[in-house]
Amino acid sequence: MDFLVEEKGDEQKAYETILLENPKVLRSLSNELVLKIIKILSKEPSCAMDLARKLKEHEQKIYYHLRKLEKFGIVEILKREERVGALAKIYRVKSPSVSFKLFEDERIVDKKVKIKELKFLKPFIKNGKLEAIIVVGSPDPHGKYGAQASDACCAIDLALFLGSLVKSAELPNYKLDTEIKEKDLKKNLILVGGPKSNIIVEKINKSLPIFFEFKREWNIFSSLSKSVYVDDNVGVIERIKNPFDEKSEIFLFAGKRFKGTRAAILGFIKNLKEVEKGNKFDSKKIARVVLGIDKDSDGIVDDVKFLE
């Protein structure tokens, strides 16, 4: 995916863009009817017949322009619907902007913008601000398991990574699980630690595609692969709709113990593109299992292997 970066003063905005290879596309885009078609499709995917009615034009004329736009990669077929005994192609615009590179030149590298990461991390990061609460387990005995969280320090690496993507953040950026109120539960949440040490994770545990279960000891069960993970070095990276408010989302980084949580955060920071691919048994779900690896044998997890 290519992006168009627009800079105004100290502010930068990034948009998905289609990088044109054929300059003939620009000629097509100068056509007034074509621009009207794109404007309608940008608001709502439509078929040629619906566009013809809205624009009061012959359907074959609309089809002609749609085929050209599809050929140039400006629009794509979203789906096919049955209309009057036939299948109608429903089109949509692929990107809000197009770009054309005149010639190769020296690249300008701006480390302020990590566009792909920002796109994936919406709505947790929005307009350069962290729009989420990082929730870590309390170090004091708490919850029905009377646990003392020891993996909260893993959140430091995660916070440093998120900090590289935001322009500003309101302090404090985290809360202990024991400090979370009912109104907080409805916000975007970034949860660190498993259900034993983080009582908010315990509340959402059964909503997770890969969840924690207790049978004599804590293990991780994947409803996607039907696998059970018992290793202390195993962690999960999951993103779900917030069960307390569907308008918000939750990101979870957790393991059975400290090493598993560390592996989850390390896997996210070092392999974000891999995380984006989703689970190999269901790519629509951001639910990954990682195994922490101590490559230099110093007792510290410094790499991961994706198990699913």
> What confidence score (pLDDT) does residue 20 get?
78
d(CA 54, CA 79): 20
* Bigger pLDDT: 211 vs 14: 211
Q: How far apart are CA 270 and CA 265, in angstroms?
A: 9
pLDDT at 84 over 80: no
Q: Is the pLDDT of residue 106 over 70?
A: no
Separation CA 220–CA 7 (nearest Å)? 46
Give the pLDDT mean for 272-276.
Answer: 93
Per-residue pLDDT at 102 exceeds 90: no
Contact 32, 73 (CB under 8 A): no
DSSP annotation of 110 reads: -
Residue 298 makes CB contacts below 8 A (sequence gap 6+) with none
Dist CA 244 CA 266 (whole Å): 28
- Greatest mean pLDDT among 75-89, 158-172, 259-273 lies in 259-273
Q: How many other CB atoms are there within 10 angstroms of residue 11's CB atom?
A: 10
Structure tokens, 114? 């990590």
Domains in the chain, ordered, with CATH? 2-99 (1.10.10.10), 115-306 (3.30.379.10)
Q: Is the pLDDT of residue 185 over 70?
A: yes
For 200-258, how does the pLDDT look when each residue is reduced to its tens digit (9 = 90+)?
999 999 999 999 999 888 999 999 999 999 999 999 999 999 999 999 999 999 998 89
Q: How far apart are CA 78 and CA 114, in angstroms?
A: 28
The Cα 279–Cα 270 span in angstroms is: 17
Distance in angstroms (rounded) separating the CA atoms of residues 107 and 84: 52
